[in-house]
């Protein structure tokens, strides 16, 4: 049977994906600095092997034959999703995939040494090479998929999402936020006049922070038997569903940035650990896309981790691990602090979407050739001034060099972050409607209801539908920014 051949084919691909994922995590967390060139070659070779195997001509024949076989609903969906995946993979020749992997990895490795020095001039040629390859990739994908070039890239991260839908949503959100940020800052200032911000102790040893982070990971449902926590330059979730690798970065003068990073990555990890295991080797059994992935990480970080109910549960654990004796009214101003800043990953939930919208707009200009890489610092600065009222012009380290995404060639990824925030707020609203006591459960350290809802409505859906379809089935409506706007107004506007 052709379906059986496809099943074996997917198991073989998953083995290569497993190896590539673990090698990638190791490269970012444990590899010796001198190993970069050979690691890039090894991963490029494996990527090419995976691509050639995934795009072999007989796979198309097996897919067509499997469509005529008697299959159950899950198998039929698996064939449909495999065909979508096959078409997207065959957009690119294997030698291009190897070249892009090699170029992206070498660019990312250079970025790690250039960024701390703010060496924009030294990094510029590498990023120009990456952008040129991304333009080629977008053109090839667009021709095969019948999509606009940027949509063709975004399809690789968020199947079903299109700029014609996202751009108006982002425009509405941007208009709201540009006016709301000053309002939220004024509200914050007025509160702090009445109750001045209590300073953090400034004594947060890394090992104690890690112990606290692991306890919170376990509390919200992460399975430490199938996952771990380590350190990297840029926090991420990697590995595979049976071996989820989370990372964060620590500061010894305060604990909230690392803890929030851990909660964020734990949200990703929970999604991976709770995907349907019977179909783990099928494209339809894997995570749908990055906006849904980000909705799960931001759900844990923002809807749970910045919820006062969570801190009713967490404060005693903070005291136990770090010796910080906090009253709720003293800690929440830190948890909810709004501040204009240059760094996306350190941004609060009010200003964060503006960082993403800035990148969404700039990468479309880069892709279309309306903007060249050499002019990126000035274009970045102009938008930072317009949206957040601050300048990055003389600080490339914390301007266009701050993220790993573009150095590694991940264009079309950034919208997922803010789409995820919008989806998380919409999911929280749906849970709150059906479970009015959810905050009381969280305050008691009981995350059973919230995880059961997400398991049934998000996690177990895997890639059985498009991104918009899964959200619509889970919440009863299409993407609606009103929930996120209402969430911000309630938490920061009064």
Residues acting as catalytic residues: 265
* φ and ψ at residue 158, rounded to 5 degrees: -140, 80
| Tokens matching residue 354 | 């503006």
Q: Could you report how far apart the first and last alpha carbons of the chain are, in Å?
A: 63
**Cα angle: 26, vertex 112, 134; to 5 degrees:** 90
Q: Report whether 294 contacts 417 (CB < 8 A).
A: yes
Pairing of strands 237-240, 227-231: unpaired
Distance, CA of 343 to CA of 185 (rounded, Å)? 18
Q: For residue 201, with 0-12 CB atoms within 10 Å meaning exposed, 13-18 middle and 19 or more buried, which class applies? A: middle
In b/e form, how buried is each residue of 248-281, taking b as 16+ CB within 10 angstroms? Answer: bebeeebbbbbbbbbbbbbbbbbbbbbbbeebbb
Sequence length of the chain is 494
Coil, helix or strand at residue 227: strand
* φ and ψ at residue 159, rounded to 5 degrees: -55, 125
- Measuring CA to CA, which residue among 423, 431, 169, 411 is closest to residue 293? 423
Note every long-range contact of 306-311, with CB atoms under 8 Å and residues 24 or more positions apart, other chains counting.
306/260, 306/335, 306/336, 306/349, 306/491, 307/439, 307/442, 308/332, 309/439, 309/440, 309/442, 309/443, 310/442, 310/443, 311/335
Distance, CA of 107 to CA of 338 (rounded, Å)? 33
- In this structure, the dihedral spanned by the alpha carbons of residues 1, 283, 406 and 345, taken in order and rounded to 10 degrees, is -160
């Amino acid at each position: 049977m052709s379906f059986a051949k496809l099943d074996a084919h997917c198991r073989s691909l998953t083995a290569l994906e497993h190896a590539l994922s673990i090698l990638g995590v190791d490269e970012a967390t444990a590899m010796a600095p001198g190993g970069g060139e050979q690691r890039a070659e090894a991963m490029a070779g494996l990527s090419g092997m995976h691509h050639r195997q995934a795009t072999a001509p007989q796979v198309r024949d097996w897919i067509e034959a499997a469509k005529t076989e008697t299959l159950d609903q899950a198998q039929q969906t698996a064939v449909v999703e495999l065909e979508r995946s096959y078409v997207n993979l065959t957009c690119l020749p294997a030698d291009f995939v190897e070249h892009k992997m090699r170029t992206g990895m070498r660019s990312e490795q250079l970025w790690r040494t250039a960024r701390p020095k703010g060496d924009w001039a030294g990094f510029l040629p590498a990023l120009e090479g990456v952008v040129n390859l991304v333009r080629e990739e977008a053109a090839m994908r667009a021709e095969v998929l019948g999509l606009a070039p940027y949509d063709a890239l975004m399809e690789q991260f968020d199947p079903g999402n299109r700029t014609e839908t996202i751009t108006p949503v982002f425009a509405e959100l941007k208009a709201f936020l540009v006016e709301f940020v000053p309002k939220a800052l004024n509200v914050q200032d007025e509160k702090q006049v009445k109750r001045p911000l209590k300073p953090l102790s400034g004594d947060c040893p890394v090992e104690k922070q890690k112990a606290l982070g692991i306890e919170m990971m376990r509390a919200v449902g992460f399975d430490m038997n199938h996952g771990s926590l380590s350190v990297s330059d840029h926090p991420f979730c990697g590995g595979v569903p049976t071996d989820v690798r989370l990372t964060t970065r620590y500061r010894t003068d305060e604990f909230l940035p690392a803890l929030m990073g851990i909660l964020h990555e734990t949200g990703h990890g929970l999604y991976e650990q709770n995907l349907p295991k019977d179909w783990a080797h099928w494209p339809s059994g894997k995570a749908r896309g990055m906006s849904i992935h980000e909705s799960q990480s931001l759900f844990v970080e923002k809807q749970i981790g910045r919820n006062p109910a969570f801190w009713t549960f967490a404060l005693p654990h903070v005291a136990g691990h770090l010796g910080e004796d906090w009253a709720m009214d003293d800690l929440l101003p830190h948890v909810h602090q709004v501040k204009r800043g240059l760094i996306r990953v350190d941004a609060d939930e009010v200003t964060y979407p503006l960082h993403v919208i800035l990148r969404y707009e700039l990468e479309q200009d880069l892709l279309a050739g309306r903007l060249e890489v050499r002019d990126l610092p000035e274009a970045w600065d102009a938008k930072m001034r317009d949206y957040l009222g601050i300048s990055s012009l003389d600080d490339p380290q914390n301007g266009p060099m701050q993220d790993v995404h573009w150095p590694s060639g991940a264009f079309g990824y950034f919208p997922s972050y803010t789409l995820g925030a919008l989806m998380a707020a919409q999911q929280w609203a749906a849970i709150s409607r059906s479970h009015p006591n959810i905050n009381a459960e969280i305050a008691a350290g009981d995350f059973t209801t919230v995880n059961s809802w997400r398991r049934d409505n998000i996690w177990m859906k895997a890639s059985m539908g498009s991104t918009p379809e899964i959200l619509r089935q889970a919440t009863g409506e299409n993407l609606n920014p009103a929930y996120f706007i209402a969430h911000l107004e309630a938490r920061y506007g009064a």
